[in-house]
Structure 1
Amino acid sequence: METINRLESEVRGYVRSFPKVFSTGKANWLTAEDGTQYLDFFSGAGAINYGHNDDVMKKALLDYIESDGITHGLDMATDAKIRFLETFEDVIMKPRGMDYKIQFPGPTGTNAVEAALKIARKVKGRDRVLFFTNAYHGMTLGALAVTGNASKRAGAGVCLCHSSPVPFSGYFGPDRDTADDLRMLLENSSSGYEKPAAIIVETVQGEGGINVADFDWLKKIETLCRDHDMLLIVDDIQAGVGRTGPFFSFEPAGISPDIITVSKSLSGYGTPLAITMIKPEYDIWEPGEHNGTFRGFNHAFITAIAALEHYWKDDKLEKNVLRMSDRIKERLDGIISQTGFKAEVRGRGFFIGIDCEQHELADEIAAECFKHHLILETAGADDNVIKVMPPLISPDDDIEKGLDTLEQAIHTVLDKHGLLSNAA
């Protein structure tokens, strides 16, 4: 850690929460250089949905490297890219009746969002994009302009323009439909709203605090886009690739986004890969109009192919995630009830949060979990939500073990502050 503290920028974040030097990872476990093993309820912020060093992906990647397969090729044609596109079409798009062009905008999620915003503005010839309270879409300037978090926005150093925030699903509580509010703003000529090019939305806001959009609300947002000549962009970077159960988080809502951003666990192995999916009629880019040096990492294509073929040719993974999601929420609700913890459990799939009424308790509980070799993070406007995000391949016993550790951490922190229920 001395080297990290001496040489790495002060901007470093997770290493402060998890001050250990990690040397190996396998499945849903990480091992530090001193041999201590840590149970992973973090999943690389959603980039390791299939766990660490999956054997099927590892073999595919090692075979590809051994064969001197192309590593870097800009956006030239490679056999790895062609096989990825064909596999993604056959395994993901065709069974879902989807028709999209695939853009490789750069290696990260924020690159995919930047491309989505640019193409939406180009298609509609308008500059404004609507985003939602508590949204998080990335740290580059365009993506940051459609992000809600004040501290992250403050780091931009410039005006974050050409975007407008609107209330997310349930923002004012269950009795108010914010989609209706938005319709009123769009249809009132005195609201001051300029006609937007697009709306960008997460179906589950991860960094915003595991805020779950109601499916009917999502349908209303899609209808608003159709009625007002706007494109619908769904950011599925953290909520997608099985994190909520189905491959795309918006599938149960029955909506058809015009543009979809996917990254994080798309490569399956933690290697960087992002795509922007665009309905063909909106793919009006000129050649090279949006480019970059790393527009498709061939090693990531190889692991992505292996992941898609291994995990998504049937619905076993999805069903297991949904099954254990119910168990996680049942356990967490029980812990809250037993301890008298003033908190709310919410989420979908393996994307679950505990919203702490006393915000400062979330970080304390996460730190206590780390002391007992469980890695998880917090999210939300005030880091008030404990995120429970195990790898999707986690065995039931390990999930129960992690929940036991979390339960004990909640007991310890509540007892420290004199908040533990007498019944506990």
Structure 2
Amino acid sequence: MNKDLKIFENSESEVRSYVRSFPTVFTKTKGYKMWNKEGKEYIDFFSGAGALNYGHNDDHMKEKLIEYITNDGITHSLDMASVAKATFLEKFQDVILKPRDLDYKMMFPGPTGTNTVESALKLARKVTGRTDIISFTNGFHGMTIGSLSVTGNSMKRKGAGIPLQNVVTMPYDNYVNDQDSLDYLERFLEDSGSGVAIPAAMILETVQGEGGINAASFEWLKKIEAVCKRWGILLIVDDVQAGIGRTGTFFSFEPAGIKPDIICLSKSLSGYGTPFAMTLVRPDIDKFAPGEHNGTFRGNNHAFVTAAAALDYWKDDTLENNIKIKSQKIIDFLEKMVEKYPEIKGEVRGRGFMVGVASEVDGLSNKIAAKAFELGLIMETSGPNDEVFKLFPALNIDDEGLNKGLDILEESIKSVVKKPVTN
């Protein structure tokens, strides 16, 4: 074992995971690059599991944050009023909500993705007076008890140690290829003998990240919204990972033309990797009493500062167009890999900069990701059996970085599937 990793091996809990996948000590990051103690350079196609959509140490955000800290700007304020929060609130309205004709109140729970999901589930139950939630197969929504109850992964659910109740799991789009999952869902709602009560809400990801880069069709999403409206069910879109441009638009649901009742945001919302979460709530269901849902770190002013700076990327369509062009390049590359290396037995999944290849070969995706790390590319796997190797480059990566990363990925695939020479 690398002697520099001994402190982690000896002192840190066994629950640690990413250090096992990327066994080195990192010291510096910039843009799409990371460096370890030995000075080895890595191309980052991981982006903090989607928390670094703008890359590492963005100059514009860093400048604003340093200026704020140097001037002794308030750091922690719970939900007291601060200039940093006011600036973010106004800018988010002007740059994101108004141009998209969206009307939401902004609620700040604790600073992580699971916190925004918990707040959404609680609010839905409070507003409707109902208990149950409908979630979908292979969904992932967080690791606290409420969020875990609407998560599909059996290994993660087992970690709860208690029964996870008041949730009904329905098939996600294309979960069963020859069956319309929404016909199945509506049959349960209509049938008084199904055992499924009308739920408070449905919660979904438009592209399932941890669940295997499964992308729902826009038609399916429109039908889900229609079902929710028909039955008076609140629609919660968990955009923690798929949002903030990761799938091509600021909100992942925009191309489907739907308007969720509640939207969960975190990960890249701060822009800089600092903890920050927000729950967007339709004004007429903004029914929590003062302090009924709260969190000590819901006033992370450093995150307000960088999040406001990050919104400058969305003042015009430059970034969005860049994602569109480069994402097609990535998709074309992956399709080529599947065709060129049939040993993968692969299927290209996802959209935008949230894409990957699902392999039918047991353990192959993990081997490819491990080889990529050895060659200087950081990427991870997802899916119930880690069957998908996924690409999450920074949204603003340049052509040189993207090309270099894709070259390393092909070399990794080639190395793993290469058949041994026999005499």
TM-score class normalised by the smaller sequence: over 0.9
Distance 1:383 1:302 in 2: 36
Deviation digits for residues 302-347 of structure 1 (CA, Å, limit 9, x no counterpart): 00111102x0001111111111111111111111111213100111
Distance 1:34 1:269 in 2: 25
Matches within 5 A, 1:403-414: 403-414=406-417
Which residue identity is paired with 2:250? F
- The reply to whether residue 91 of structure 1 matches residue 95 of structure 2 is yes
Which residue identity is paired with 1:322? K
Q: Corresponding residue for 1:104?
A: 108
Q: Corresponding residue for 1:315?
A: 317
The 3-state SS of whatever aligns with 1:293 is coil
Which residue identity is paired with 1:149? N
Distance 2:10 2:17 in 1: 15
- Once the two structures are TM-superposed, the CA of residue 176 in structure 1 deviates from its matched residue by 2.5
Q: Corresponding residue for 1:188?
A: 191
Deviation digits for residues 130-182 of structure 1 (CA, Å, limit 9, x no counterpart): 00000000000000000000000000001101111000000012x43211211
- The reply to whether residue 82 of structure 1 matches residue 86 of structure 2 is yes
- Once the two structures are TM-superposed, the CA of residue 206 in structure 1 deviates from its matched residue by 0.2
- The reply to whether residue 57 of structure 1 matches residue 43 of structure 2 is no
Among 332, 335, 338, the alignment partner of 1:333 is 335
- The reply to whether residue 247 of structure 1 matches residue 250 of structure 2 is yes
Q: Corresponding residue for 2:368?
A: 365
Distance 2:419 2:36 in 1: 29
Deviation digits for residues 168-223 of structure 1 (CA, Å, limit 9, x no counterpart): 000012x4321121111111111111110000010000000000001010011101
Which residue identity is paired with 2:328? D
Among 8, 11, 18, the alignment partner of 2:15 is 11
Deviation digits for residues 267-292 of structure 1 (CA, Å, limit 9, x no counterpart): 00000100000000000001100111
Among 114, 121, 124, the alignment partner of 2:128 is 124
Q: Corresponding residue for 1:393?
A: 396
Which residue identity is paired with 1:331? F
Q: How many residues were matched structurally?
A: 416
Normalised by the length of structure 2, the TM-score is 0.97
Distance 1:360 1:159 in 2: 30
Q: Corresponding residue for 1:39?
A: 43
Distance 2:242 2:310 in 1: 17
Q: Corresponding residue for 1:376?
A: 379
The 3-state SS of whatever aligns with 1:180 is helix
Distance 1:181 1:164 in 2: 13
Distance 2:17 2:94 in 1: 39
Q: Corresponding residue for 2:31?
A: 27
Asked whether the 8 Å contact 2:111–2:298 carries over to 1, the reply is yes
Distance 1:87 1:218 in 2: 28
The 3-state SS of whatever aligns with 2:418 is helix
Q: Corresponding residue for 2:213?
A: 210
Distance 2:396 2:7 in 1: 34
Which residue identity is paired with 2:31? A
Alignment CA distance shift 1:359-1:296 (3 Å): farther
Distance 1:247 1:199 in 2: 21
- The reply to whether residue 292 of structure 1 matches residue 299 of structure 2 is no
Deviation digits for residues 362-390 of structure 1 (CA, Å, limit 9, x no counterpart): 10000000000100000000000001110
Among 268, 275, 279, the alignment partner of 2:278 is 275
- Once the two structures are TM-superposed, the CA of residue 416 in structure 1 deviates from its matched residue by 4.9
Distance 1:288 1:321 in 2: 39
The 3-state SS of whatever aligns with 1:325 is helix
Among 344, 350, 355, the alignment partner of 2:353 is 350
Q: Corresponding residue for 2:202?
A: 199
TM superposition outliers: structure 1 runs of 4+ over 2 Å: none
Which residue identity is paired with 2:78? L
Structure 1: state its 5+ residue gaps: 419-424
Asked whether the 8 Å contact 2:80–2:299 carries over to 1, the reply is no
The 3-state SS of whatever aligns with 1:344 is strand
Distance 1:395 1:149 in 2: 35
Asked whether the 8 Å contact 2:362–2:387 carries over to 1, the reply is yes
Distance 1:215 1:296 in 2: 35
Q: Corresponding residue for 1:421?
A: none
Deviation digits for residues 76-119 of structure 1 (CA, Å, limit 9, x no counterpart): 00000010000100000000011101110010000000000000
- Once the two structures are TM-superposed, the CA of residue 359 in structure 1 deviates from its matched residue by 2.9
Which residue identity is paired with 2:149? A
Distance 1:335 1:278 in 2: 42
CA RMSD of aligned residues (A): 0.9
Q: Corresponding residue for 2:239?
A: 236
